[in-house]
A and B are shown apart, each in its own frame.
Chain A
Amino acid sequence: MNISKPAEDQNESFRARFQRGIGRNIQSFILIFAVVIIWAIFYVLTKGSYLGSQNISNLFRQMSVTSLMSLGMLLVILTGGIDLSVGKLAGFVSVVVAYLQFNIWYTLLPNQVVLPAILSVICGLIVGLLFGALQGSIIAFGKLPSFIVTLGGQWLFNGLLLLVTQGKTIAANQPVFSTIGQGYIPPVWGWGIFVIIVAALLWNMFSGRRSKLKYGFQVRPLYLDLITVGVIVLVILAYVFSVNSYKGIPVPVMILAVAAVIMAFVVNNTRFGRYTYAYGGNNEAARLSGIDTKKLLFKIFMVMGGFAGLAGIVLASYVGYGTIAAGTGYELDVIAACILGGTSPLGGVGTIPGVLIGALVIASLTTGLQMLNVAPAWQYVVKAIILVAAVYLDVYFKTHRK
């Protein structure tokens, strides 16, 4: 018998473990390194204000709309497909929600604020899921390429968006509803959430170690697990400390964090997630392994639609109105975040943390260039260079690894 699992040697030096860990996640480390470099450059160029608590707060808030969609887009790209309609779908949902807020609930439910906000969220999600399901059914059961179907979808949603707005801007700045995109979690609560996260991480770590022992696997030395948890806790601590010295954790960032944790669980620990990776790796083998691939594809595009709906709700609340330009071009940022984050456009490879870091790189660049008052033309050029260079480096490291 030649399998000895896992390759964890109790006596392996810390240095060797460290190098092996880096080697295994080379791409994530390159990306984190890129974020650090980008932040350092902008920190110097803006004489420190780039990393001020107000800007950190804005940076993460700004990335939340496209990042929410990236979570769904990861699934789509994992299958080897693409969804070009998400920007306009989110835009369409944002004007639908604004229309409901401004015209419908106002007359139907006068003098109420909480109930309309809840109804708006539900309606926005339903619209997103429905149109995701529509596109998904055409792609999965009609066997059309997702590229074509969602290109059509982009036009469809643009048309519907124009129909709803009639070319006008609709206000969506009603109280309660506006906290979804603009609100802050009070600092005291923010610290409470921090404590809960730390407790959850530690519980997760110890229960994982207990299960490993129960099933007869070796556990890593305790200090290594503690270091891993410690690094994550420090990053979250730095973030919470920073935003709390401004106004607190932005509500959309909290929504993104919860959605990301759920999705990270889904892709790694559920059959739906595993089947998605398998389908992207080899759809024929996946089908012969008993996976209902049509239903899977349908579900994935429906989930994507749901995330576009959620992003549309946050977008309407964040900007405070619905306009004809809502969501234009967002799909490109969403796709770029996935690709930068190491998602293979061929399918089968990609992770939630990778996608989030990819989104962070793009948001860091955008806000930094804006702070420096770089002309939009050059912002595009810089982003273009970064995207292509990052993918080039990724390909280079993958082919020259050994």
Chain B
Amino acid sequence: MRDGKVITTQPIGDLDQNILIKYMVGREMKERFPKGDRKPGEVIFEVKDLEAADPFVPDRKVLNGVSFNVHKGEILGIAGLMGSGRTELVMTLFGEYAKIVNGSIYLDGKDIKPTSAREAINSGLSLVPEDRKKMGLIMIQSILRNISLPNLNLFTRGLAINSYEETKACMKQAKSLTIKAPNLDVLAETLSGGNQQKVVISKWLLSKPKVLIMDDPTRGIDVGAKYEIYKLMNDLAENGVAIIMISSDLEEVMGMSDRIMVMCRGHSTVTLSGKDADKEHIMALATGVAVI
């Protein structure tokens, strides 16, 4: 099925993955990952020897020496096993999880230590969180309200929100991401996973971040929408946004990233350049088998 219509019904023997994807997407998918033409610039975001304590068990360190940097217009992939501290890392960078006990975070040369999402956003970070339903969206609100929420200061004149400017800006953003919905008043809960994720990305793009953190951005969405999100990431990087992407899908990390940082048990191991990376090497680093 696609766009509410039955496209075809065939015996399973006649199908392989590529044919199936072709029917689902409506065009031939030559490649899973679109090629970008990225020219990474200078370092914009840098994390040095970050250590952070568990918010509930102060003695336990969830981050135990993380260092990496991201260049302008670059996609940095973060690979690692479940529980290696990837999500904890990005939530901490966003000021919303662990308490930083050591180390520093530099954005555009400035030393920042956000203690809340608000501070992180103000300094130029944005986070597309891991769980869009629980953390990214307000499901009972419209697309419009979801996109404008972190950006209301842009539309506020004096006390009042200019709803026309708000609608116009959100509409432009929604159109550029090709969110499929009859209008912006549709509730987020009625959208498909891919469109929901596009709403989350829209709301963060409107705030013009310098560094966009995406925690498993393609989780639970179909191949067609995945491809669109990859293309979008390429566009953003080409326009100078630094992207940090977490993914559990190794192929995705390798297909999309310029460089890959591998995490293991709360610390960063090594940053590989995209073309040098292979699955076995990454897995060895992630499980701690390989010594650096």
Contacts and interface: CB of A to CB of B under 8 A. Distances in A.
A274 B117 contact: no
Contacts of A10: none
Interface string A266-309: 00011100100110011011111111100000000000000000
A269 B161 contact: yes
Nearest to B171: A5
A282 B138 CA distance: 5
Contacts of A217: 164, 167
B203 interface: yes
B88 to A, nearest CB: 15
Contacts of B181: 2-3
Nearest to A294: B116
B185 interface: yes
A402 to B, nearest CB: 11
Given A2-B181, A212-B164, A270 B159 contact: yes
Nearest to A212: B164
Interface string A136-168: 000000000000000000000000000000000
Contacts of B159: 269-270
A204 interface: no
Contacts, number: 109
A216 B169 CA distance: 12
Contacts of A348: 138, 140-141
A171 to B, nearest CB: 40
A3 B174 contact: yes
B161 to A, nearest CB: 5
B137 A274 contact: no
Place the interface of chain B in its size category: 35 or more
A212 B166 CA distance: 12
Contact of A285 (B134, B148, B156, B165): B134
Interface residues of A, number: 33
A52 to B, nearest CB: 41
A3 B184 contact: yes
B140 A215 contact: no
Nearest to B120: A290
A5 B129 CA distance: 28
A269 B162 CA distance: 8
A270 B163 CA distance: 10
B138 A286 contact: yes
Nearest to A292: B118
A281 B117 contact: no
Contacts of B174: 3
Contacts of B153: 271
Interface string B64-103: 0000000000000000000000000000001010000000
A274 B149 contact: yes
B11 to A, nearest CB: 33
A290 B183 CA distance: 26
Contacts of A287: 96, 116-117
A129 to B, nearest CB: 19
A103 interface: no
A370 interface: no
A252 B145 CA distance: 35
A348 B141 CA distance: 8
Contacts of B175: 1, 3
A3 B141 contact: no
B4 to A, nearest CB: 12
Contact of A7 (B118, B163, B183): B183
B54 to A, nearest CB: 18
Given A2-B178, A289-B121, 13 more contacts: A1-B175, A3-B174, A6-B185, A216-B168, A217-B167, A265-B160, A271-B161, A274-B145, A288-B96, A289-B150, A290-B116, A290-B122, A291-B118
24 contacts: A3-B179, A3-B181, A4-B182, A5-B167, A5-B171, A5-B183, A6-B183, A7-B183, A7-B185, A269-B159, A269-B163, A271-B152, A274-B148, A274-B149, A274-B152, A278-B141, A278-B149, A281-B138, A282-B137, A285-B138, A286-B149, A290-B116, A348-B138, A348-B140
